[in-house]
Structure 1
Amino acid sequence: MMSFQFHRSAPSRFGPWATCLVGMLAGIVLVVLLSWWWLFLAVPATVLWVIGVIDYLQPHHSIRRIYPVIGRMRWLAEDLRPKIRQYFVESDTDGAPYTLDTRADVYDRAKGGEGIESFGTELDVYAQGYEWFLHSIYPKVPAEGQHRVRIGEASGAIPYDMALMNISAMSFGSLSGPAITALNEGARRGGFAHDTGEGAVSPYHRQGGDLVWEIGTAYFGCRTPDGKFDADQFVDECRQTDAIKMISIKLSQGAKPGLGGVLPGSKVTQEIADTRGVPVGETVVSPGHHSAFDGPDGLVEFVARLREISGNRPTGFKLCVGQRTEFLSAIRAMISADVYPDFIIVDGSEGGTGAAPLEFEDHAGVPLDDGLATVHSALVGAGIRGRIRIGASGKVGSGFDIARRLAQGADYTNSARTMMFALGCIQAQECHTNKCPSGVTSHNPMVTRGIDVEDKAQRVCTYQRSTVNNFNTILGVLGHTSACDVRPDQFMRRISQTESVRYDELWPVLPEGSLLDGSAPEAWMDDWKAAGGIAG
């Protein structure tokens, strides 16, 4: 297994650079005292020392800023990528969920590249799981700019026009201050939304980018000393922060559904403690369940309450789908109370996190394909799909990813990991240790100085714009000019070497209102009836 690990202590980070300085000085002295032959030491050492100075001062590459001279090993590896490509694709570092090619493509787009590859696809088009779209022989001129999805209009809330691709939930504490700052500034420049994650609205979120304030089970930013929901703090934050455009209640996270978040004590600095309202240096474990409400009726009431006291901001919830009957019970509660969330964010079980038990990362929750299809179909079957927007969160990193999620029923998408790549994340998978080598998830000032906020903010903005532009190109090739025209019958998945099926065959959508009139398939009707007992 090939991987590059960087030592984090200051001596080891600056050791090679310091060695070059010593070699340069020693070489000069020996040239003066002994022989010109010592130029063979002095000249290379001087060149390397100057390179170290350039690395330390330049703003564009975090690894080189943090690890002068030795950090260039990474760029050497990137230059060699075509020669060792297949090795990395087949055995990527520690089973990481994104291949080197995926990360390199994000880096390229974040820097303004076109993401164009020569010599054809590297994928096995006959392998199970391969996906493609059915182009039109009468393509349209690609649309330009962001597509907007209006959220909140159906409930009478202050509507918000959401971009097709946004920054998914990553909290301050999990990410460093400079990383959050760069994300929010990138969102401001690009005109897309930034989900705060459950760690509260921090000072670093206040760069002018639109915010979706996520309220988790620990109620950070609006909690009492004993960890309960504090309505007064919630109202004060909403009044003080105009950038908060929507409120999202986190029911569960795809990487660890049913469990609360964990922030190791080594990452709980004074600033993080003040932001979250927790003790300094102590590991923070969010509960697995909400204390402000219980059950589907309580969820619906809490949605209505937060929408009202937030100043009528669009309010919804995020979940990783589990038992279908429980989601259907929430729908029954909505219909019974005639109260509906403005949006539902579906988080797939393949989503990432800095800290979760391996069993949960690998085996808990419904993958985004199936979860998204379940939520979309259930809302259609209940006759309320037009009232509620659906966001999709889970490995959205390309224009094709956006298109396929829309085909599966989403109205917009959120991305976390690839936004981190745009910041310079190298997927060292040490988010929970406070030893992130790129400074994205570290709170060590010696490391976070590697993140040049101005440069990284522009990369985040450029990456999002490039990805949406790629989607626009796909949209035109599909024969459409509007994102809402994307259809599931235009996308295919191979299920064996000789068989492939359309999305609408893989995930058939219930007829409109069929759960209400009893015409839905038997399995759905059985779950719908069982959900009535849960919802009361």
Structure 2
Amino acid sequence: MRQRFTRARERARYYERYVPFALAVLMIPAGILLFGSAPIFATILVLLGLAGTLTGLHDLTQTQHALMRNYPLSSRMRYLLEHFRPEIRQYFVEDDHAETPFSREQRAVVYRRAKGIEGVRPFGTLCNVYSDGYEWLNHSMATTHLPDSDFRIHIGGPDCKQPYDSSVVNISGMSYGALSPNAIEALNRAAKAGNFAHTTGEGSISRYHRMGGDLVWQIGSGYFGCRNDDGTFNAERFAENAAGEAVKMIEIKLSQGAKPGHGGILPGPKVTEAIAEARGVKVGVACVSPSSHSAFSTPRGLCDFIAQLRRLSGGKPIGIKMCVGHPWEWFAMAKAFHETGIAPDFIVVDGGEGGTGAAPVEFADHKGAPLRDGLMLVHNTLVGLNMRDRIKLIASAKIITAFDICRISALGADGVNMARGFMFAIGCIQAQACHTGKCPTGITTQDADRYRALVVPDKAVRAARFHEATMFAVKEACESSGLDHPDAFTPHHLMIRTSPREVRSAASLYDWLSPGELLTEKVSHPAFAKYWDRAQIDSFAMAS
């Protein structure tokens, strides 16, 4: 009896595979029978039946997809649900604080501020304040009252002839090619309106970057905008572009090993005329950034390159952008800065949390130090060499709110760069289709039909308004902590819950170097004790 029941169940499962297809076939005669009494409904039924029958026949006869052949018609429901899974999860499943990659609450904060909507919340926090890892900033009984929220940082070391007073919050590097023309133009107009800086991304300065906003010209390993035909650095072209009045600083991007790039566009698409104009490459060919720089190969060579760019630019601030990888490589650079006396005016520390571009999942999830760890290592190194006052540190990763800014300032940053925050401000909905060229909002695409829907004046106003509202929130955070500037936050202000019954400040939770400690024989920090003496300025390799 059991064997008979099992065989019957197996036969039922076999025929269940064809039930949707059979229903589609039966809809045709059913529609024909109903034609006299309900012609409209019957017509719809016949058309649906024909469409389903033809689709099912195609599934049965094709040889490319086993699932479709075994489950004609019904398998397509699986593909449909899989296609809409990110949207279903984002809008109906995940809670307000699930950061995948940005939470609904984070996005809502940006949208409200960009639109000028009141951003207060009733009834208290939604966070579990007793969960491990919960963080807060201590407030003061002696609050300050600041006249405005236009916090600036002075960037420019002793060798800089044209220092720049930068906003604490600026737009991070997003290339034209990765972003659409209208998106780049909107961001640059916002930078002009809000008096903050717009980093070009390694795709160089396009015509859409020239809308009056201050620029930080980012130079990657492809040397776009200052390259020879073979991809090597061209000093004359660099000097010509760097002389532009809008260019306030130059940023050397070093992190190709952490986030393999393609010059800001995917390898598949070919370069358009406007992209070729900005990057100095030929129209119609693939645009690829090499994995390393050809202008230098050692830490000492990097110092020489910094000095060369400073001279060619007429003394403008020169910085580097990196995601911390091997600690001995960063230590080698820091040693070179100290021993040669040639140092960058600023360092942008990027986090391994991922950026606006597309990368293999292995790189996005497991390459590069997260922002906090990388920033604290860089900060400690410069403190230990007595160089911290000379070099400004800019943090760039998943930073959205004023709390994010103040928290990262407490861990060593002087300012922050935002990419995805400004993308949200101009309409990004986190569809995660950036790499497809089919961005639904027209932000990350070169499809004219899509990006023309992005109205530049309106989006520029929103991005500028988001910056203004964020800076005002930073002002309120500083005032409530009794401070005059976000760079006055220290590790003592940041509290971190380590267990339900234990709270520690960042000052006691992490290891911090004292000024000049690396210039002595005694180094207590474990990373420095292990790798500092093995770093060498004439090679990025670790000494044996």
TM over 0.5: yes
Distance in 2 separating the partners of 1:516 and 1:474: 36
1:149 pairs with 2:153: yes
Name the SS for the 2:198 alignment partner.
strand
| 2:438 corresponds to which of 435, 439, 450 | 435
Q: How many residues align?
A: 450
TM-score normalised according to structure 2 size:
0.79
Distance in 2 between the 1:87 and 1:525 partners? 47
Encode CA deviations 1:388-441: one digit per residue, 9 max, x unaligned: 111000111111111111101011110000100001011111111110010001
Q: 1:288 aligns to what SS in structure 2? A: coil
Q: Do residues 276 (structure 1) and 282 (structure 2) align? A: no
Which structure carries more relative contact order (alpha carbon 8 Å, separation 6+)?
1
Provide the residue aligned with 2:509 in structure 1: 506
Superposed counterparts of 1:294-333, under 5 Å: 294-333=297-336
User: Does residue 1:290 correspond to 2:293, yes or no?
Assistant: yes
Q: Is the 8 A contact 1:260 1:286 kept in 2?
A: yes
1:415 paired residue number: 418
1:253 offset after TM fit, Å? 5.8
Q: Distance in 1 between matches of 2:515 and 2:91?
A: 48
Q: 1:125 to 1:143 in 2, by over 3 A?
A: farther
Kindly indicate whether the alpha-carbon contact (under 8 Å) linking 1:260 and 1:288 is maintained by their aligned counterparts in 2: no
After superposition, residues 31-430 of structure 1 pair within 5 angstroms as 87-89=93-95, 96-239=100-243, 241-252=244-255, 256-257=258-259, 261=263, 263-264=265-266, 265-266=268-269, 268-430=271-433
Does structure 1 residue 532 correspond to structure 2 residue 536? Answer: yes
Report if aligned partners of 1:253, 1:347 keep a CA contact under 8 Å in 2.
Answer: no
Distance across 1 between alignment mates of 2:355 and 2:236 = 33
Deviation, 1:520, is 1.9
Change (3 A) 1:311 1:492: same
Q: Distance in 1 between matches of 2:327 and 2:518?
A: 13
Distance 2:468 2:334 in 1: 35
2:39: which partner in 1?
none
Contact 1:155–1:387 (Cα < 8 Å) also in 2? no
Q: How far has the Cα of 1:351 moved from its partner?
A: 3.0
8 Å Cα contact 2:356-2:420 kept in structure 1: no
How well do the aligned residues superpose, as a CA RMSD in angstroms?
A: 2.1
Q: Name the SS of the counterpart of 1:249 in structure 2.
A: strand
> For the Cα contact (< 8 Å) 2:206–2:274, is it kept in 1?
no
Identity over aligned residues, as a percent? 45
- C-alpha change, 1:281 and 1:121, in structure 2 (3 Å) is farther
CA distance in 2 between counterparts of 1:418 and 1:91 reads: 16
C-alpha separation between the residues in 2 aligned to 1:430 and 1:471?
32
What are the ranges of 5 or more consecutive residues in structure 1 without an aligned counterpart? 1-80
8 Å CA contact retained: 1:228, 1:291? yes
Contact 1:107 1:421 in 2 (8 A): yes
TM-score by length of 1: 0.80
* Equivalent position amino acid for 1:223 in 2: R
* 1:365-406 Cα shifts (integer Å, max 9, x gaps): 100011110000110001111111110001111111111111
Give 1 or 2 for the bigger CA radius of gyration.
2
Contact 1:381 1:514 in 2 (8 A): yes
Worse-matched range after superposition: 399-408 or 498-507: 498-507
Instruction: Describe the superposition over 1:118-175 as per-residue Cα deviations: whole angstroms up to 9, x where unpaired.
Output: 1221111122221111111222224512111101143233110010100000010000
